[in-house]
Amino acid sequence: MHSDVVISSRVRLARNFADLPFPGAMSSALGEESQLRAANALKLAPESRDYTLLRMRDLPDLPRRLLEEKQLISRALFSAGESAALLLRHDERAAIMINEDDHLRIHAHQQGSALSELLQTALAIDSAIGESVQYAYDAGLGYLTSNPANVGTGLRASALLHLPSLMHAGVVGTLTRDASRAGLALQPLGGRDGAPQGDLFLLQNQVSLGRSEEELLASVNLMIAELIDRERSARELLLLSTDAKLEDRLFRSLGILRYARRLTEAEWLRRWSDVRLGVQAGFFRVALGTLDALLTDMRPAHLEQAAEKELSPTERDEQRALLVREALND
């Protein structure tokens, strides 16, 4: 839904056990207790067979990097201590991080705009675990978390957005301020210089205290709807006034992706954004789903998995170009 603008959606719930200190203050023994408690609680749920427990200490480097690139684990969990683990659903659309900043971080994700459905998925997992454990909860504040910004519902709802036309119009700064006034953050998915790579932005709520899950989700969905409308309007104006320079840039980007022998990650994302805009303009016949799937497939660990060996930076660029050529020349 709205896949021309919304690449993917994600919902995350932060939860902690009432009788254990936060993971940052736990001993190894208590960390193991937290891990086992989460796994045993999920076993009582109807869908327990759909999950596999992955202990970070048992995973080699490449599988952990793959999980991180798929956003199934965070960088914090990647490098966490002995008791860090992941309960992963077999379809990889839902997972529970154990002993990251909080004892449990339940998250669900999906392509396109689907926050309402994802919230129901996360709440169902939350309820299943909560049947047999006691969460850290305060009647006045809500769920207690290691980060004060997550106290309350513990909810973080986010969407990954492609906004090339708004970037071209130079109005993203205004929209970022509008989002902030609504208690949301609109942040570029940037490189080292902070510039948005691939014209990609992450929208998410900043706090979870004092509002229900439904109210928080409504505010995020409202801003998503506004950004969709603004991007589509800006795209229409951009394409109505398209000159030879812009059209040449879009076609050059497609040609580079189809024939280049080396692609750095930065160039790949820049060309990817151009081609995606060209598809929406009707210039190219490439499925948006194909382009969007490549976002993850072109990350370093996924490139090494495809090559079945470790790659140097130059070899990664060559492997990226090879796989993009194969995907876009089928």
For 167-199, how does the pLDDT look when each residue is reduced to its tens digit (9 = 90+)?
A: 999 999 999 999 999 999 999 987 555 567 899
pLDDT of residue 267: 96
Mean pLDDT of 101-128: 95
Among the ranges given (80-84, 132-136, 222-226), the one the predictor scored with the smallest mean pLDDT? 80-84
pLDDT of residue 195: 64
pLDDT of residue 2: 79
pLDDT at 112 over 60: yes
pLDDT of residue 194: 57
CATH number of 6-233: 3.30.590.10
Average pLDDT over the chain reads 93
pLDDT of residue 191: 55
d(Cα 199, Cα 162) in Å, to the nearest integer? 6
Mean pLDDT of 204-223: 94
pLDDT of residue 164: 96
For residue 291, name the pLDDT band (cuts at 50, 70, 90).
very high
For residue 240, name the pLDDT band (cuts at 50, 70, 90).
confident
Compute the residue count for the chain. 330
d(Cα 19, Cα 177) in Å, to the nearest integer? 40
pLDDT of residue 235: 94
d(Cα 126, Cα 104) in Å, to the nearest integer? 9
Range list for CATH 3.30.590.10 in the chain? 6-233
Q: Are 150 and 156 in contact (CB under 8 A)?
A: yes
Mean pLDDT of 33-62: 88
pLDDT at 7 over 90: yes
pLDDT of residue 165: 95
| Nearest residue to 85 via CA among 54, 40, 63 | 54
Q: Are 164 and 271 in contact (CB under 8 A)?
A: no
